[in-house]
Structure 1
Amino acid sequence: MEEQLLQDVSDAVTRVFDAIDTDGPDQAQSIRSLTWVMSPATIVHARTGDPSLLRRTHDAMTRFVDSAVAQDGSMRPLLASFRELPPFCEAYEYLKSQDQLDSQTRSRTDALIAASADSHLGSTDWGAQNRATVDAAGFYAVADSIPDHPHASRWRGYGDALIEDSWGRWSIEDASIYGPFWLFYLITASEGLGCEEEFLEKVTTRYYFEQYSRLLMPNGMLPDWGDGDWTHMWTWYAAVMVRAAGHCTRTDYMYFARRLFETHRQMGMDGNDVVGYSPVGMGTGDDLYSLATALRWMGQDPPPEAVPYSLVASEEVVDDLVSKKIAYRNDRAFALLNYRDAGPYGRYQREYQNQQLFAFEEMPHHGHADENSLVMLMEGDTVLLADGGYRRTSHDGWRADLYHNRLVARLGWPNDHEMMPYLQGNPQYLPVRTEKIHFGTFGSLDYSRTRLYDDDRGYTGDRVVLFVPATGMVVIVDTVKIDREGPKSFTNMWHPDGILAQGDF
């Protein structure tokens, strides 16, 4: 993996540098995209020592900084997206260490970084969620790059405040795409703090490493749940698990990262729609940066050789308090039940998200109303059933319960006898509580019972899942106990996109 990764990152960097050397209508956009490319270029140079690559990285930095000069000579905050600040500052620090920048370029770059940081002081986000750790990593990167700036202590103070909610704590995001963002930038923030060893030893950090490793599907991909897309998140998981493998000396973690890398690389090179690769090679956006960072971590703390591990038995994914997921599997079939509720923590942070986000179908933060939903069912390489994700359809309110494979309830009933419009008429998320009642494997049959308490609608619902390992057959039984009188409607939904497209409803 390491040798292939080095070659792919190098080729991607070269493609971008060739593009900015070519006059044309896309040149300005190519220069603007350099924030994701220059740090990978320095990572490759640290490996190869190629003098031409160092020169081209210097030229790229100079052109990017020059593009930020306004007509009055001031520097515009081109790095308004805070995910761009850490990679930009990493490249800047490397070029300074190589004595590649003259005094004018350094002065302009300092001003650009400061303007970008100050532009974000009034619009940052907080809580144990990805945007807060992204912002914290950005503020730390800025303070480290220009430590003598008058605002440096303020930037570092912002970083300290933002990281507090996540440091050694649980994420409030039950969303497959945002978990690795959150953890990736926590790791880079810990590097900026000089506390990486302490952070990597946290129980919560080790917990998420283990959770990720237990979710690998038979086809070498990961399921998605909440906000996410199972073809668009793998580079961040791979990077985080490379760091985990090196620090924890875990051969299985390295296998997890390698399997993700090899599977998605091949899919992209074959022309499938996955982030990270296409037939021309590795992508050149944040996917390049995340994979290049994996390469940097391989050199910093070399991981052990990958040793395959087998996931062929049903299991609870780590625990029934934070993860609240159960995987059913044999050597070909895979099903994932997500019974995760919001959880009894992060209340103030979730209330903040409720107040400031226009996403009333969302389980804060970035979650869906997918409690007790079967979020994935596959046999071999064939996906039989899926939900979650960022919908690629025009459905309104796609985070709502009716777009998930679960029992859906409403107060009252549709007078016109058409259920779908009635369900769609009230997609607002209502908090519920869930718990595991039973889980067991009995050789010929795997069994679970999970319970959902809906106090707003006045019912308790149990979902029983039976999985036959010998055949991969899944049987689901939903039961309802009415806790409060009054008219109620119930329907058992199975990802309805294909049915709706037929126009029968």
Structure 2
Amino acid sequence: MKRLTFLLVFLTCVTFQTRGATKSDYLNVIKAARNNLSAQYQQKLSGWEKTYIPDAFSGYAPPSFPVQLVEGDGFLYHVTGQAMYAKEAVKVLIEIGRLRTYFPAAYRSYQKEYRYGLPPMTNFFHLIPYIRSYLWIKSSGMMTPDQKSEIEKNIAQTADYVFRFHEWGPMNRSILRAAALMAASKALPKHPRAKLWRRKAQELAAPSLAKWTIEDAQIYNAVWLDGLFMYIDFAGDQTIWRQPVRHYYFEYLLQLQNPLGYQAEYGDNHGFWDQTARYMAIYERGAKEYHDGEYKWAAAKMWRAVQNDPKNNNIQTGLSYINAYLWCDDSVRPQEPTNKTTEVLEELYGKKVVFRSGWDPDATFLLLNYRNGNEYGKVPKDYLVNTIPIETEKPDHGHSDENNIGPFMTHKTVLLSVPSYFKRADFYQNKIVARKNEMPDTTYRLLPFLRRQETYRMVTSQKLHFYTFKHADVTRTRVTDSNLGYVWDRVITYLKDLNSFVVFDGIKITKPGLFTFANLWHTQKILNSGKHWYESRFLNVGDIPGRWPNPGKWTLLTYFPEPDRKREGVEFVYNWSFAKDLDFAMYRAVTDSMKAGDRLCFTTVLIPFKHGPHPEVKIKPISYLKSDNYPNGVGVKIVFPKKTILVTARMNLEMEYLPYQTRPRYTYKRGRIGYFWKDAAHRSHRMDTDARWAYAEVSNDKINFAFVEATKLLVDQKEIFSSFENSFYTFVSDGKLIHPAREKWECWEDTVKLK
């Protein structure tokens, strides 16, 4: 009997862990949320009526809770057939239109869009749930002819308002208007302007149907896809699911789900806990349309995360799960993804890399976002730039975050976050920040100097390398600022066995001038510090005070091991959005007059640390790896009693090229850099290689190594790797048509015995 009981408990736990939410689960939450809001409705409405202060400048701003309630009532009638829901929906549908009487007629002339009359709903988010509720109860028999006429008039007046004042391009604000107008044409097919609404809806939706969005923001990717799927349902054309770009976004979002089950932040965001209902619905739709267990698993994990969130309140947010219910397919079985570090999804549009140790809640997760304001969608981006005031961000709700690192988390603890909604400028990011032709006051703080320049500056970005090996993963991404005149390569190495990261930031000057470069890393509290290292912790995640107190006991050790002299410090930056937690930046910086061709490099080691005494013990084995060609060759060494780990990067990629025409144009001799270290027994060693990046784990009897783009690698003069010599046809610059040479191998990893 005990065995049977244990088996039943085990199977129950397994089922809960894998199945996630069913339609029944979503329905129960929606019912509870609707009942709660219905019970509070009159009190909330009276409160709004007493406290609403009309604002001629901002225009009419009706409350959102009546629309939420009316959608819930309409939906529950649609699902249950219970007449009480339809009856309540009719009452609120009428009431929503009458609330506009609280906006004085004298104020209406200030808003040109009101010249044809004040619409019942001025927020384009409201029209879709209003129409859906009407469509769900239209045949209920609960409306009198006069009520039906008044509700349809509310729909028509708001649809006309949206028709006259719309934004276009593949983005959230456009697709929501398209969905609203398509819904209006479906609700009122015989209305004299229904064809105009439908035509405008098709026009606004067309750029989104088979194309990427121009937005790069965690919030707005959810709003855009949610609106797009509702548009598809209103339009009745399901052929969209055969288009590759639709499938692309489900894979894109899946790789951006963090170990806690939420969507990682990038661009405009309030915190990773935001937009969960929309993302859950999106994953459910992907699972349904493609019968994909990984999308179902992502929805299930997000559902469990929300239920386990002590600050989540389904009573308040439950009505947001309506689309999740509508799109849920209980026949799809969840299947956990198996990939780890990966590109998200490619280097042309997505332009992100996720370093990941796994998918469990304790896994390590770090996001690199190198997305620039790329060439895609130039016309709608130009339209936005010249229509609305956007100065500190890319014209896509993205921040000035090219090559930014974050979020970074491990063991359920956030170690590096990203700035939230209104903190878009470059100096709020974890990245290299550049200023030119101004001299900061060396006796005063650096951050106020950086804040003088907040406007977004257009740059280009590229992926140069992305490789995963047994012991290390590596990316190299490049940002080119043609305006200021520099090229910045960020090389990130994930040391899997140590669960730590080494970051090399190499800069090449292309236009002379007085430059300041700052290597910024943001946090909220410094717990400890020592020579070139800082132990830090985030207290709160997101921009709502106390919404997500950072759990766990882990902290981040940030270490600057470089031997050269740079300005270093920790400075207060700003109040972390609306929260009381302060934001500090740890940094190293250089100000100097530089000429074209000059180079410099910053090195940072990021080490997750379970908070306790003596964090310096984690730092002690790590130091800078000397090279015979700094800053063209840089490295870090980690010395243990029985082995030494080396991470190197050649920051000057062009030094390997010969000055005359021949092929291959590169040679080992020109690209070679020597690296020198002493092991735990103080024995001297060296490694010589022309690798653009290399990892080596050297012990007394063997070496585990991996490299990117090399012809040779030697340790203590012993040849560990050499590419094969072959015959090459070449330009006749030296009188030889054919000559022997070694070509570079793209990448390789191996283990070689040293004795």
Which amino acid is the alignment partner of residue 507 of structure 2? V
Tell whether 2:292 aligns with 1:250: yes
Distance 1:436 1:31, change over 3 A: closer
What SS class does the counterpart of residue 438 from structure 1 fall into? strand
What SS class does the counterpart of residue 150 from structure 2 fall into? helix
Tell whether 2:326 aligns with 1:296: yes
Aligned to 1:25: 46
1:190 pairs with 232, 238, 243, which one?
Answer: 232
What SS class does the counterpart of residue 126 from structure 2 fall into? helix
Which amino acid is the alignment partner of residue 340 of structure 1? R
2:149 pairs with 107, 122, 126, which one?
Answer: 107
74-83 or 140-149, larger mean C-alpha shift = 74-83
Within 2, Cα distance between the matches of 1:175 and 1:475?
27
Tell whether 2:447 aligns with 1:420: yes
User: Where in structure 2 are there 5+ consecutive unaligned residues?
Assistant: 1-20, 53-61, 106-115, 526-570, 573-581, 587-755
Aligned to 2:249: 208
Shift, 1:354, TM fit: 1.2
Shift, 1:490, TM fit: 0.5
What SS class does the counterpart of residue 463 from structure 1 fall into? strand
Count of equivalent residues? 482
Tell whether 2:384 aligns with 1:353: yes
What SS class does the counterpart of residue 495 from structure 1 fall into? strand
Deviations along 1:280-308, one digit per CA (max 9) or x if unpaired, are: x3325xx723x11110122xx55512233
Contact 1:181 1:236 in 2 (8 A): yes
Aligned to 2:180: 138
What SS class does the counterpart of residue 480 from structure 1 fall into? strand
Distance 1:17 1:372, change over 3 A: same
What SS class does the counterpart of residue 326 from structure 1 fall into? strand
Tell whether 2:189 aligns with 1:147: yes
Residues 80-479 of structure 1 aligned to structure 2 (within 5 Å): 80-195=122-237, 197-229=238-270, 230-267=272-309, 270=310, 272=311, 277-278=312-313, 281-284=314-317, 288-289=319-320, 291-298=321-328, 302=330, 304-310=332-338, 313-331=340-358, 332-391=363-422, 398-417=423-442, 418-479=445-506
Distance 1:303 1:211, change over 3 A: farther
What SS class does the counterpart of residue 85 from structure 1 fall into? helix
Aligned to 1:394: none
Contact 1:69 1:76 in 2 (8 A): no
2:69 pairs with 9, 13, 37, which one?
Answer: 37
Deviations along 1:351-371, one digit per CA (max 9) or x if unpaired, are: 111112222011011011100
What SS class does the counterpart of residue 493 from structure 1 fall into? strand
Within 2, Cα distance between the matches of 1:239 and 1:389?
23
Shift, 1:380, TM fit: 1.3
What SS class does the counterpart of residue 308 from structure 2 fall into? helix
Which amino acid is the alignment partner of residue 373 of structure 1? N
Within 2, Cα distance between the matches of 1:34 and 1:24?
8
Shift, 1:75, TM fit: 8.3
Distance 1:460 1:101, change over 3 A: same
Within 2, Cα distance between the matches of 1:31 and 1:483?
54
Shift, 1:257, TM fit: 0.9
Aligned to 1:12: 33
Within 2, Cα distance between the matches of 1:297 and 1:358?
37
Shift, 1:115, TM fit: 1.4
Which amino acid is the alignment partner of residue 412 of structure 1? N
Within 1, Cα distance between the matches of 2:583 and 2:469?
41
Which amino acid is the alignment partner of residue 110 of structure 1? E
Shift, 1:233, TM fit: 1.8
Which amino acid is the alignment partner of residue 47 of structure 2? D
Within 1, Cα distance between the matches of 2:263 and 2:63?
33
Q: What is the CA RMSD across the aligned residues, in angstroms? A: 2.4
Q: Which has the higher helix share?
A: 1
The TM-score with structure 2 as length reference comes to 0.61
Within 2, Cα distance between the matches of 1:478 and 1:34?
52
Contact 1:180 1:237 in 2 (8 A): yes
Contact 1:329 1:472 in 2 (8 A): no
Contact 1:32 1:64 in 2 (8 A): no
Shift, 1:6, TM fit: 1.0
Distance 1:22 1:364, change over 3 A: closer
Within 1, Cα distance between the matches of 2:189 and 2:377?
33
Aligned to 2:528: none
Deviations along 1:250-295, one digit per CA (max 9) or x if unpaired, are: 111011011112202321xx2x2xxxx32xx3325xx723x11110
Within 2, Cα distance between the matches of 1:120 and 1:317?
35
Contact 1:17 1:56 in 2 (8 A): no
Deviations along 1:115-148, one digit per CA (max 9) or x if unpaired, are: 1122233321111111000111111111111122
User: Where in structure 1 are there 5+ consecutive unaligned residues?
Assistant: 392-397
What SS class does the counterpart of residue 97 from structure 1 fall into? coil
Shift, 1:473, TM fit: 0.4
Within 2, Cα distance between the matches of 1:188 and 1:303?
22
Distance 1:50 1:453, change over 3 A: same
Deviations along 1:337-379, one digit per CA (max 9) or x if unpaired, are: 0011122211111111111222201101101110000021111
The TM-score with structure 1 as length reference comes to 0.90
Tell whether 2:88 aligns with 1:53: no
488-497 or 53-62, larger mean C-alpha shift = 53-62
Shift, 1:485, TM fit: 1.1
Within 2, Cα distance between the matches of 1:410 and 1:23?
51
Deviations along 1:201-221, one digit per CA (max 9) or x if unpaired, are: 221111001111111212222
315-324 or 128-137, larger mean C-alpha shift = 315-324
Shift, 1:31, TM fit: 7.9
Within 2, Cα distance between the matches of 1:358 and 1:178?
18
RCO higher in 1 or 2 (8 Å CA, sep ≥ 6)? 1
Aligned to 1:395: none
Within 1, Cα distance between the matches of 2:306 and 2:36?
20
